Amino acid sequence: MKTPPGLQALIDDGVIDHVLRPLKSGKEAAVYVVRSGDEVRCAKVYKDMAQRSFQQRVQYQEGRKVRGSREARAIGKASKYGRKQQETAWKNTEVEALYQLRAAGVRVPEPFGYFHGVLVMELVTDAEGFSAPRLGEVELGAEQAREYHRVLVRQVVLMLCCGLIHGDLSAYNVLVGPDGPVVIDFPQVVSAGGNNAARTMLLRDVNNLTASLGRWAPELLDTWYGEEMWALFEAGALRPDTELTGEFTPDEGAVDLDSVRHAINDAREEALIRQQGREAAAEDGN
């Protein structure tokens, strides 16, 4: 195929040899399957975001560290230079998160470097060597759904122990490899200790996964892993090997329990509606 402009510099520098095919394209990036020597990898080319999307990302960026006082001031003023710096920081965030999470044992694609604004990383494949499907695209049995849920909850715990929250986790940001689920797409990763919306985003992540996998194993819908792990995290008691139960009893005197339950159920229903919409769209396209 014709080399996309964003990848020509990598070919010129010998980082990759050639582009094999496009893998996917979204609002924030386009991903291509590329060859580098004897290895087949993927290259994520980040798109420059419009002002509207830039504003929508403010809640995710709260608590992120910025290199340099000048950059921090410019970002705070939302000047042209500041927006450019924040775009750069937004793209760098995923790269840094992948290296950190991979080192912590989280099931994420292995990164191979960041060149000219392009992230080169492992291509996650299925047992036959084809690009792995998303979790939201596969049929599961009840036992497999429970096992995937267990594995994914553990990944969320490991991320939280690193001080990070995915921020947009769902069955469509998880690939199913031969050894189980792999979590992808981290440009919106949230600082667990520095973002006021961290708890809300963590609960949304866990509940999105629970809602999707609960289609195959309905008993999962009665679990409270997000609330349990956040309470342990706040208390400084969450460890990578902490065994969770999925049970949680909130302090009814300190919180509006009905509102909490409604918010969680809303998140689960929203995930199901989004998934049904994707399935309907796929059927219309056939």
Catalytic residue chosen out of the listed positions 126, 185, 251, 284: 185
- List, in order, residues 6 or more apart from 100 with CB less than 8 Å away: 162, 164
185 is an active site residue: yes
* Burial status of residue 100 (CB atoms within 10 A of its CB: 0-12, 13-18, 19 or more): middle
266 is an active site residue: no
Lowest mean pLDDT among 6-15, 31-40, 226-235, 260-269: 260-269
Quick: pLDDT tens for 18-76: 999 999 988 788 999 999 999 999 999 988 765 335 444 545 455 545 455 554 444 44
Quick: pLDDT tens for 149-179: 999 999 999 999 999 999 999 999 999 999 9
As a whole number of Å, the end-to-end CA separation of the chain is 25
Contact 18, 11 (CB under 8 A): yes
Residue 217 has pLDDT above 70, yes or no: yes
Quick: pLDDT tens for 184-198: 999 889 999 988 899
pTM over cut 0.75: yes
Q: Could you tell me which residue, 231 or 257, shows the higher pLDDT?
A: 231
Q: What confidence score (pLDDT) does residue 139 get?
A: 95
Residue 111 has pLDDT above 60, yes or no: yes
Q: What confidence score (pLDDT) does residue 252 get?
A: 60
Lowest mean pLDDT among 73-82, 176-185, 238-247: 73-82
- At residue 241, what are phi and psi to the nearest 5 degrees? -100, 10
Q: What confidence score (pLDDT) does residue 5 get?
A: 87
Catalytic residue chosen out of the listed positions 13, 48, 168, 258: 168
Of the candidates 139, 182, 169, 152, the one whose C-alpha atom is nearest the C-alpha of residue 42 is 182
Bridge-based pairing of strands 111-115 and 118-122 is: antiparallel
Cα atoms in the Cβ-side hemisphere of radius 13 Å centred on 231: 13
β-sheet bridge partners, residue 181:
176
Query: Both tokens of residue 278?
Result: 């994707």
